[in-house]
Amino acid sequence: MVKEIEILDTTLRDGEQTSGVSFAVREKLSMARLLLDELHVNRIEIASARVSEGEFESVRRIAQWAAARGYLDRVEVLGFVDNGVSLKWIADAGCRVVNLLAKGSRRHCELQLRKTPQQHFADIKTAIAQATEMGIAVNIYLEDWSNGMRFSPDYVYEMVDTLKREPIRRFMIPDTLGVLNPDDCYAFCRDMVERYPELHFDFHAHNDYDLAVANVAAAVKAGVQGIHTTVNGLGERAGNAPLSSVIAVLNDHLKVRNTIVEKSINHVSRIVETYTGIHIPANEPVVGENVFTQCAGIHADGDNKDNLYYNDLLPERFGRVREYALGKMSGKANIKKNLDTLGIDLDEEAMRKVTERIIELGDKKQAVTSEDLPYIIADILKQDVYDVKVHILNYNLSLSYGLRPVATVKIRINDRDYEETSSGDGQYDAFMRAIRKIYKEQLKRDFPMLVNYSVSIPPGGRTDAFVQTYITWEYRGETFKTRGLDADQTEAAIKATLKMLNKVENILNQQSSGEN
């Protein structure tokens, strides 16, 4: 096993082969910067040659930026054995590394290309010679290599024997159809490494059997020098090996050095989630919404007693924090953890009443966030934990066919009334624009940034079903979430926003008290 592994991220190429995903030019450029500058991956594969004019523009823009940063040798494009057409496309875009796609199994060679192995190998050599003449470095994909090793290993050996003296930097061995298990993956990768110790091998996993990360670990143990990942496991069919999980396994189980900045993983994952519109599963390791959230009361109790339910995946490593869920599984320990974070202290009787209410809400399938706690306490104990500084006095939402929605809002902040009207792209957008105008134009204050907006609607098709709207906000370095519940989705979002506005006032009061 090597002491340090090279990471190629192919989110911008294989990740874009996810059904329904297409990156705009500015998004590709943004992600290239994040991957190389913030995450510090070794290499990125950014596109397939000859796809479209838009793709050409993306590659050209990334190449310009990479050249200015000294990264151009770390930017790669998938190309084809096509009499130099792909190579010209890559050169014209300003790149100088091609990942040449060749056939790594006899079936693919003979049935798809309808050529003999010798004819295909000769074509590959010609493409390599053309690339070298154009000043383009060559890596080579052995497409369907895993099935080649299973059913025609003699073909694979003949191919590598024929090409091993060519100017190829890396032989990239993919499990194209995601058919390997860790035992076979280790055996096949070890075979290649021992048979050709002078060559550099990358392993490219697919996740059809949910074994991509395990297969990457097996390949690293077998001695490959590079592995391919995608952010959030994007990719063809079931996707590729997710970068977040791979890095956790490399660091914690295999102890193999790599260049990835762990603290940036969650940030980059969230941006990619926004660009793709594909939500990260809540239980996705490392980056999922719930993976650092303890639900059972016994877990929170154990954490109070010397962190008994911690493992090596500490959330702080990835720029996150541990949370304690509130619901029917909550015990006093969960609730106390949340109250401590909010700086709220309750006696035993008050704690009992709050616990009972939270369990009651959980039985009704209503989620509770830590930001809901002050309102629950105010309702049960008839006392405010902190003063409610913001009240919505009135609002009118106008929706007319062919016209932009308009919102007029009147709110009271610290005993003063403010009113504004604004249009927007939707009713809630119009409402938010009106509120934002009050804060920025009348109060001359900064306004929180909406980081994430999600809606939970029970299945079943009822038009009167309660909607839970969750909004994540960022304000002055603090990130928090608020929830609104109502049969009307816009009303639910407005309720969540009102909680946010009061949270902001509370933050300002705390900061003001700290300064004094």
Sequence letter at residue 73: D
Parse the chain into domains and list their residue ranges.
Answer: 6-276, 293-381, 390-515
The whole-number average pLDDT for the span 44-54 is 95
- How far apart CA 451 and CA 471 sit, in angstroms, is 8
At 333, the pLDDT band (50, 70, 90 cuts) reads low
User: Residue 49, SS3?
Assistant: coil
Q: Are 250 and 256 in contact (CB under 8 A)?
A: yes
Calculate ∠ Cα 387-392-395, nearest 5°.
Answer: 175
The answer to whether 143 is a known catalytic residue is: yes
Q: Is 177 exposed, middle or buried (0-12, 13-18, 19+ CB in 10 A)?
A: middle
pLDDT of residue 47: 97
Q: How confident is the model at residue 155, as a pLDDT?
A: 98
Cα(148)–Cα(200) distance, rounded to whole angstroms? 19
**Is the pLDDT at 300 greater than 50, yes or no?**
no
Highest mean pLDDT among 156-170, 301-315, 465-479: 156-170
pLDDT value of residue 311: 81
Residue pLDDT, tens place only, 82-117: 999 999 999 999 999 999 999 999 999 999 999 999
Neighbours of 91 (CB within 10 A): 16
Sign of CA dihedral 178, 179, 185, 189: negative
* HSE-up (13 A, CA, CB side) for residue 225: 13
Mark whether 4 is an active-site residue.
no
| Ranges 157-166, 253-262, 266-275: which has the least confidence | 266-275
Residue-wise pLDDT tens digits, 138-177: 999 999 999 999 999 999 999 999 999 999 999 999 999 9
Nearest to 78 by CA among 57, 48, 56: 48
Instruction: Kindly list the distances between the CA atom of residue 299 and the CA atoms of 302, 308, 318, 332, in Å, as whole numbers in the listed order.
Output: 5, 8, 21, 11
- pLDDT (tens digit per residue) in 430-452: 999 999 999 999 999 999 999 88
The DSSP element (H or E) to which 409 belongs, if any, is strand 406-413
Q: Which of 6, 13, 236, 289 is catalytic?
A: 13
Question: What integer pLDDT is reported at residue 307 of this predicted model?
Answer: 64
- Relative orientation angle of helices 25-33 and 265-276, to the nearest 10 degrees: 170
* C-alpha dist (Å) from residue 291 to 21, 79, 106, 132, 278: 25, 38, 43, 48, 18
Helices (H), 95-242: 106-107, 117-133, 145-151, 153-163, 182-195, 212-222
Q: What are phi and psi of 158, to 5 degrees?
A: -65, -40
Chain Cα centroid distance, residue 474: 18
The percentage of the chain sitting over the pLDDT mark of 90, rounded to a whole number, equals: 69
Under 8 Å CB-to-CB from 416, ≥6 apart: which residues? none
Tell me, which fold does domain 390-515 have in CATH? Double Stranded RNA Binding Domain (3.30.160)
Fold exhibited by the domain 6-276: TIM Barrel (3.20.20)
Per 3-state DSSP, the chain is made up of helix, strand and coil in percentages (nearest 5) of 45, 20, 35
- What pLDDT, in 10s, does the model give residues 5-24? 999 999 999 999 999 999 99
Q: What is the pLDDT of residue 365?
A: 64
115-126: average pLDDT: 98
- Are 221 and 253 within 8 A, CB to CB? no
Q: Judge whether residue 370 has pLDDT over 50.
A: yes
pLDDT at 343: 67
pLDDT-wise least confident of 120-124, 160-164, 339-343: 339-343
- Single out the residue of 344, 412, 352 nearest to residue 383, CA to CA: 344
Residue 272, class by beta-carbon neighbours within 10 Å (0-12 exposed, 13-18 middle, 19+ buried)?
buried
The residue length of the chain stands at 516
Residue 216 CB coordination number (10 Å) = 29
Question: Helix, strand, or coil here: 242?
Answer: strand
CA distance 168 to 129: 11
The tokens for 27 are 């998004």
329 pLDDT above the threshold of 70: no
The whole-angstrom separation of Cα 170 and Cα 177 is 21
Contact 188, 181 (CB under 8 A): no
Which amino acid would we find at residue 167?
Answer: P
Residue 275 has pLDDT above 80, yes or no: yes
pLDDT > 80? residue 57: yes
Q: Give, in degrees to the nearest 5, the angle at Cα 118 between 113 and 123.
A: 65
Instruction: State the pLDDT at residue 76.
Output: 98
- How much of the chain, in percent, has pLDDT values that exceed 70? 88
Residues 6, 76, 143, 236: which is the catalytic one? 143
| φ/ψ bin of 491: left (φ > 0), alpha (ψ from -120 to 50), beta (otherwise) | alpha
Cα–Cα distance for residue pair 270/280, rounded to 1 Å: 8
What is the phi/psi pair of residue 411, to 5°? -130, 160
DSSP for 61-81? HHHHHHHHHT-GGGEEEEEE-
pLDDT band for 366, please (50, 70, 90 cuts): low
**Residue 378: which pLDDT band, with cuts at 50, 70 and 90?**
low
- The answer to whether 32 touches 44, Cβ cutoff 8 Å, is yes
Average pLDDT score over the chain: 89
pLDDT at 70: 97
> Looking at this protein, which amino acid is placed at residue 444?
K
Q: What is the pLDDT of residue 196?
A: 98
pLDDT band at 364 (very low <50, low <70, confident <90, very high): low
Q: What is the pLDDT of residues 212-245, one digit of tens each?
A: 999 999 999 999 999 999 999 999 999 999 999 9
Query: What residues contact residue 515 under an 8 Å CB cut-off, 6+ apart?
Result: none
Residue 229 vs residue 353, higher pLDDT: 229
Quick one: pLDDT at residue 461?
61
* Residue 505, pLDDT score: 86
Decide if 361 contacts 327 (C-beta within 8 A): yes
Average pLDDT (168-189) is 98
Question: Is it the case that residue 40 has pLDDT exceeding 50?
Answer: yes
- CB under 8 Å to 356, separation ≥6 — which residues? none
**What is the rounded CA–CA span in Å between residue 341 and residue 92?**
56
The four Cα atoms 123, 124, 125, 126 give a dihedral, to 10 degrees, of 50
Least Cα distance to 370 among 321, 413, 411 occurs for 321
